Structure 1
Amino acid sequence: MKKVFLAILFPLLANAQCNEESSKAFQDQLNKEYADEKESPLKKEDLQHFKGLDFYDINGDFCVEAKLKLTPNEKQFVMPTSGGRKPLYVKYGELHFELQGKRCKLNIYRNIELSKMEKYKNHLFLPFTDLTSGVESYGGGRYIDLETTDKDTMIIDFNQAYNPYCAYNEGYSCPIPPKENDLLVEVRAGVKKFHD
C-alpha cells in the first residue's frame, strides 16, 4: 500500500521566473494533475469532490533572488521520510536571501537516484517549513523544485511551493524537511493545507 513519492513538477518549474504568468501556469498544471485519476495523489473519495487546490494569492514579494553558495564536499545522507523509504540525498548548496525583511537561508538538495536519470540530472529539491506550517499550510512542510545553474544566484518562487503527496494520502512516503530548512517567517504563498 505504501507508495513511493516521486512527484516532480518538472520541467514546468525548472526555469521559474518572477512573474504572475508562470505562477498561474503552475497552479493550472497542478490542478490538472490532481483532477486526473491516473496522476492524482488524492484518495478516491476526495477526488470525487475535487474542484481545485487552495492557493494563496500570487504575490511577487514571495519570489526572490537568492545567492547560491555551492557545497561540493558534502557527504550523502538518508533524508527521513513519513514512511519506510530511505532515500539518499546530498546537500548541493545554500541559498541566502531576504524575505519579509528577514535574512534567510535554505539548504538545497540533490536526490542521488534521480540524478542518475537523464531526465532529472539537473533537478534540485528544496523542502522547507515556515510559520504557516500546521496553521494555514501543511504541517509537514512544502517543496519547491529547482534546477542546477552555472550562475551564483537562483530564483526561488514560493508561489510555486507545493505539498508533498502525504498531505493528501498517508499511503505515500515523503521526505521530511530538515530542521535547518525551517524559515522563521510566514510564507503566505503557494499551496495551502488540504481541506477534505
Structure 2
Amino acid sequence: MKNVFLGLFIFFPVFLFAQDFKAEIEKHREEYKAEFLKSANAPLNQEDFEYLRFYEPNEKFKVECKFVATKRGEPFELPTSAGKTKTYVKFGELRFQIDKKKYKLAVYQSLGLKIIPQYRDYLFIPFKDLTNGKESYGGGRYLDLRMKQLESDKIYLDFNKAYNPYCAFSEGYSCPIPPKENHLKIAIEAGEKNFGKNH
C-alpha cells in the first residue's frame, strides 16, 4: 500500500505540470489569434481562425539553452520574400539539445524596430526545419524573445510558440527569409502548422 501511495505522489505532480503546460500554450495561442484583430494590416480576421493549425503542445520542444552573445555584431541585410531586404544585427546564439543532439540558432535584432520604444528589446529568431513544405509552412517559421528573457540563469526556447510569417496566409507581405545558419536538421513538430486555407 505504501508503494501505491508513493506512485500516486510521483504521478500527480507530473500530471498537473503537463496540464499547466498545455494550458499555458493554449492561452498563448488565443493571445496570438487576438493580435490579428488589433492590426488593420493583418492578413486574417475572426472567420479565418478556423483554418489555423497547430501541433499538440509538446514539452520536448521547450528546450533549455545556453546563450552566447555576439561581440560587435555588424549590421547585415536579410532578404525577404518580396525581394527586398531588412537590416538586422546578430545579437547572439542559443545552443541547446534535443534527443541528445546539439543544435544552435542565431538571434537577431532589427535595427528598424530598435528605434521604436516598445520594440527596443525585441529579438527575432527566424528558422527552418525538416517539417517545412510538409506539415509546416515552406518559408519557415518565427520565434520572438525579449532581452530580459536572456538575463535569467535558465534560458528557455519554446518551439510550441513558433508561428507563421504573414506570407503563409496571404500574398503581398515582405517576410524575412530564415538564413542558412538557422536551418535545423530536425523536424520541429511543435508550434504552428500550415494554414488550412488556400490563398
Same fold per superposition (TM over 0.5): yes
User: Where does residue 3 of structure 1 map in the other structure?
Assistant: none
**Higher normalized contact order (CA 8 Å, seq sep 6+, divided by chain length):** 1
Structure 1's 120 and 139: CA in aligned 2 closer, same or farther, altered over 3 A?
Answer: same
The structure that is helix-richer by fraction is 2
Secondary structure at the residue paired with 2:26? helix
User: Where does residue 23 of structure 1 map in the other structure?
Assistant: 25
User: Where does residue 127 of structure 1 map in the other structure?
Assistant: 126
Cα distance in structure 2, aligned partners of 1:37 and 1:181 = 28
Secondary structure at the residue paired with 1:172? coil
User: Where does residue 146 of structure 2 map in the other structure?
Assistant: 147
Once the two structures are TM-superposed, the CA of residue 86 in structure 1 deviates from its matched residue by 2.0
Cα distance in structure 1, aligned partners of 2:37 and 2:53 = 13
Question: Which ranges in structure 2 are unaligned for 5 or more consecutive residues?
Answer: 1-19
Cα distance in structure 2, aligned partners of 1:103 and 1:180 = 14
CA deviation map 1:29-88 (0-9, x unaligned): 22234467846313x8xx655425100000111101110000021110000000143211
Cα distance in structure 1, aligned partners of 2:38 and 2:122 = 24
Cα distance in structure 1, aligned partners of 2:39 and 2:176 = 23
User: Where does residue 174 of structure 1 map in the other structure?
Assistant: 175
Q: Which amino acid aligns with 2:137?
A: Y
- Residues 1:157 and 2:147 aligned together: no
Structure 1's 48 and 106: CA in aligned 2 closer, same or farther, altered over 3 A?
Answer: same
User: Where does residue 193 of structure 1 map in the other structure?
Assistant: 194
Assess if the C-alpha contact under 8 Å between 1:131 and 1:183 holds in 2.
yes
- Aligned pair count reads 176
Secondary structure at the residue paired with 1:173? coil
User: Where does residue 41 of structure 1 map in the other structure?
Assistant: 43
RMSD (Å), alpha carbons: 2.1
Assess if the C-alpha contact under 8 Å between 1:31 and 1:52 holds in 2.
no
The percent identity for this pair of structures is 44
Relative to the length of structure 2, the TM-score reads 0.81
Secondary structure at the residue paired with 1:90? strand
Assess if the C-alpha contact under 8 Å between 1:127 and 1:143 holds in 2.
yes
Q: Which amino acid aligns with 2:52?
A: L
Assess if the C-alpha contact under 8 Å between 1:67 and 1:152 holds in 2.
no
Q: Which has the larger radius of gyration?
A: 2
Cα distance in structure 1, aligned partners of 2:39 and 2:77 = 31
Cα distance in structure 2, aligned partners of 1:170 and 1:186 = 26
Relative to the length of structure 1, the TM-score reads 0.82
Secondary structure at the residue paired with 2:145? strand
Once the two structures are TM-superposed, the CA of residue 195 in structure 1 deviates from its matched residue by 1.9
Q: Which amino acid aligns with 2:72?
A: N
